[in-house]
Structure 1
Amino acid sequence: MKKLVSAIVVLSIFFAGFLLGCSNKTISHENALVNKTASAQAVLPGEIDHPNIVNAAGTIEVAFSPNGGATDTVIKAINEAHSTIKVQAYLFTSTPIAKALLNAQKRGVIVKIILDKSNETEKYSAAKFFIDNKIPVKIDHDFAIAHSKVMIIDDSTIITGSFNFTKAAEKNNAENVLIIRGNKKLADYYNENWQWRWENTQSYQ
């Protein structure tokens, strides 16, 4: 009985130490992320450094994935562009969406793209495709992850949601995408955020 009690005590000490070690590792990991994000070189502009309420206006189109038409919905909105398309993306591997942006540029639309730094090393990132086709690309190094998935079309239509511009988001993942048309005030806030990042990012090399 004494041996059993001793064994239980030893195991209890072992697991307590194990859990403490895991906790310390988690804290260290979180601190590393905090330290990494704390190195951001720009402060949010005054217009968007706090929550903003925007009155409902215009229309909202919604699509889901997998295989719910999310990619086609994004492409349809891109095809509506007349003057500008401003992009923020975490991952970008969707060939159909990349080609739609290129086609927009060919018909005279100004296209500019900001990508997360992971696109510098991703084997299948569309970054090189855009650069090869003279579409300006900048890389956001300021955060642990530049996680926005946004397009601003003609300074008035917003594409947003969880949907990355990737094949996996269309075929494999549970995602959503919203196309918000006709809400200029909302678009102004997204433009403010996009311009802030464009001015504080580096051209893709």
Structure 2
Amino acid sequence: MAVTPLSTLDLPTYGPVVPVIVIDRLEDAVPLAQALVEGGVRVLEVTLRTPAALPAIEAMARAVPEAIVGAGTVLGAADAQRARDAGAVFAVSPGYTSALGQACRGLGLPLLPGVATSGEIMAALDDGYSFLKLFPAEAVGGIPLLKAWASPFGQVSFCPTGGITVATAPDYLALPNVRCVGGSWLTPAPALAQRDWARITELARAAQALRSA
């Protein structure tokens, strides 16, 4: 059955950049979310790459209700279930399988599936997904690839992630088939290590100011 992914949560309407967050210390989760929200960034993708990730999602969702907290690096049904149980309201995957798409649909968890090839796009389209994450964007072709896909996949829009910086993000956002970008530059490791929340708020404000050319 065809579905409209993210039908209950249209991520790009909240801003041009989705931060890709890696949490190592649970105690950083709430102040980090607060700093991003203060800077106008409400959609937060917390990657399931560390033991602190799921507790961080739970803490953010509970303590910062203005934040729209999702889980990244969702690899299968078990990850999706754990993310949903922790309070995530959307999922992001680095690749796509029908099993993952079906699992998220069954959980009522909106999914932004990752793709890197035309075949993966076609598989996602077969399952009703037309808003996709290009990952790792820079490594697999970036802007030239997205331009090449615009004609054969005119019904598809993208959130490119992977290697994008504040300097290159405007070039991606200028493409007609790009609705938003994902970036880790909003939460740089040095700022997290120093708990420099003011710096993260500043980066969030700058990200919200990015617009398509």
TM-score in same-fold range (> 0.5): no
Greater per-residue strand proportion: 1
Q: TM-score, normalised by structure 2?
A: 0.34
The higher relative CO (CA closer than 8 Å, separation ≥ 6) is in 1
Indicate the structure (1 or 2) with the bigger Cα radius of gyration. 1
